[in-house]
Amino acid sequence: MTELHELSALTLRNALARGAIGAREVTEHFLRRIDALNPQLGAFVTVTHDSALAEADAADTRRRTGDPLPMLHGLPLAHKDLTDVAGVRTTLGTAALDPAVAAEDSPLAAVLRTAGAISLGKTQVPEFGLSCYSENLIAPPARNPLDLALSPGGSSGGSAAAVAAGMLPFAPGTDGGGSVRIPAAATGIVGLKPNRGRVPAGSGQADLGQFVVAGPLARTAADAGLLLDALVRAPNYRAMSAASRNGRTFLDAALRAEGRFRIGVSTVSPFSAALDVAPETVSLEALDSGIRQLQAAGHDLVEAPLTYDPRYASAFQSVWTAGLATAPIPEDREEHLTDLTRVMRRRAQRRGAPELAAAIDILRQFEYDTILQYSAYDMILTPALGMSPRPIGWYTDSNADTDYERQCRYTPYTSMVNVCGLPAIAFPTLTTPEGLSMGVQLIGRPSDEAHLLAVCAQLETHP
């Protein structure tokens, strides 16, 4: 008999909508999974048993009364511990600040609550979401369900581990430099970074670099499309938004799985000018496997001779860490920061406005130049990661600069997509003899998440 956690989010959604199963039964099942698995995985920092069950009971009552059901009626998920949820503590992954119990939902939590989803708690993150691994000083590290000695990546690592382990059917993540795609690739699931301006509650238009967007972590393209449909159903109070889908849903795009595309292939990274970036053999094997699968699905794969501004690495670090300069951390609490955060914060505080403005100018020109190059293709294909998932503690066993350099070499292909504001999806294409998952990243044209989901779905049907 199929267990509830083995069902797709879409199948669960449909069963809940027709009353074949109740929200309380689903919620209890996933809470039991979390209680059983989290001591080993460290995916959750906080589990909200009581409030989740109360919300499930309310969802069941709503269905019995015949009221219209929202899109995600009764579906469980969880939020990163960077996202405020009413009545739940937020730690931001740091020991330098006292956890605060949120008085109200953040916009991201609010839109998913309105969609009928039930939050089961908060998932593990790096301090302030700064890193591509989910380790901090306040709770056990998140671990990779495929090998507990390895990291699931970050910063959405706790959420990705929970989805990969069947503790959740899907989950929202946030992605400022790869934080959805990296852990998806490390744990063998699907991670979609939407276009800048697509998701009102995480539009990529609020932070200095316009990097951070909210997007889905899921086990299938259809589940990712379903969650994205819920995320975009909110008012957008910014002047710039991603192009309208004209009434078509992202779920529909994944289910139709249509299209044949010209895809440019590249292993060039914008970090190469500053760092030794050479993808491991296993990363190239996953890329080659992806190429074969895409060709078998009817796509035209060609080499893309891309070039990137050699100033990228320095400019990105300057803008990525700029927010640390003004983070409200009392001076006497700075000793409780991780080494990486403390060093990057001090550098950010010493950086002058002209230097920061110059870095932003470099990245805005980088956006223009890169999108111009990509426009010769329908999509760009890269490895998802530069190497196989790293051991717990690998980043932090040295100094802050080594930590950061290791992150860039592990994830050399993701942050450039955030700088450009483009949509991108990571999905698995290879299972190693050790049972690890490796995958690829597809970068789409502006506002073209639908075709990325369609191609991902094609390979799920015909791997």
- Residues 358-368 have pLDDT tens digits of 999 999 999 99
H helices of 297-427, in order, are: 312-320, 339-350, 353-374, 400-410, 415-420
Q: Stretch 53-61: mean pLDDT, rounded?
A: 98
The confidence band for 168, taking pLDDT boundaries of 50, 70 and 90, is very high
**What's the pLDDT at 359?**
98
Domain boundaries, the chain: 4-458
Q: Are 386 and 279 in contact (CB under 8 A)?
A: yes
| Residues labelled catalytic | 80, 155, 179
- Residues 93-107 have pLDDT tens digits of 999 999 999 999 999
- Residues 334-381 have pLDDT tens digits of 999 999 999 999 999 999 999 999 999 999 999 999 999 999 999 999
Instruction: Quote the pTM value.
Output: 0.98
**What's the pLDDT at 246?**
80
- Residue 24's contacts (CB-CB under 8 Å, 6 or more residues apart) are 53, 56, 57, 60
- Residue 151's contacts (CB-CB under 8 Å, 6 or more residues apart) are 133, 134, 135, 141, 142, 143, 144, 157, 186, 389, 390, 391, 392, 394
Longest dimension (CA), the chain: 63
**What's the pLDDT at 244?**
87
Q: Is residue 463's pLDDT more than 80?
A: no
Which tokens hold the place of 244? 């309208």
**What's the pLDDT at 225?**
98
Residue percentage of the chain with pLDDT more than 90: 97
**What's the pLDDT at 240?**
87
Q: Is residue 461's pLDDT more than 90?
A: no
Task: Give SS3 for 123.
Answer: strand
Beta bridge partners of 379: 263, 444
* DSSP-derived secondary structure letter, 287: H
Name the CA dihedral angle for 241, 242, 245, 251, rounded to a multiple of 10 degrees: -110
Q: Is residue 383's pLDDT more than 90?
A: yes
CB atoms within 10 A of CB 278: 14
Nearest to 374 by CA among 313, 318, 448: 448
The confidence band for 396, taking pLDDT boundaries of 50, 70 and 90, is very high
Q: Is residue 112's pLDDT more than 80?
A: yes
**What's the pLDDT at 462?**
75
Q: Are 159 and 116 in contact (CB under 8 A)?
A: no
Q: Stretch 124-138: mean pLDDT, rounded?
A: 98
Task: Give SS3 for 216.
Answer: strand
**What's the pLDDT at 434?**
97
**What's the pLDDT at 145?**
98
Superfamily of domain 4-458: Amidase signature (AS) domain (3.90.1300.10)
Q: Determine the residue type at 435.
A: G
- Residues 115-125 have pLDDT tens digits of 999 999 999 99
The Cα–Cα gap between 418 and 356 comes to 18
The Cα–Cα gap between 173 and 190 comes to 12
- Residues 283-335 have pLDDT tens digits of 999 999 999 999 999 999 999 999 999 999 999 999 999 999 999 999 999 99
Task: Give SS3 for 393.
Answer: coil
Q: Is residue 403's pLDDT more than 90?
A: yes
**What's the pLDDT at 1?**
76
Q: Are 389 and 430 in contact (CB under 8 A)?
A: no
- Residues 207-234 have pLDDT tens digits of 999 999 999 999 999 999 999 999 999 9
Mean pLDDT of the chain: 97
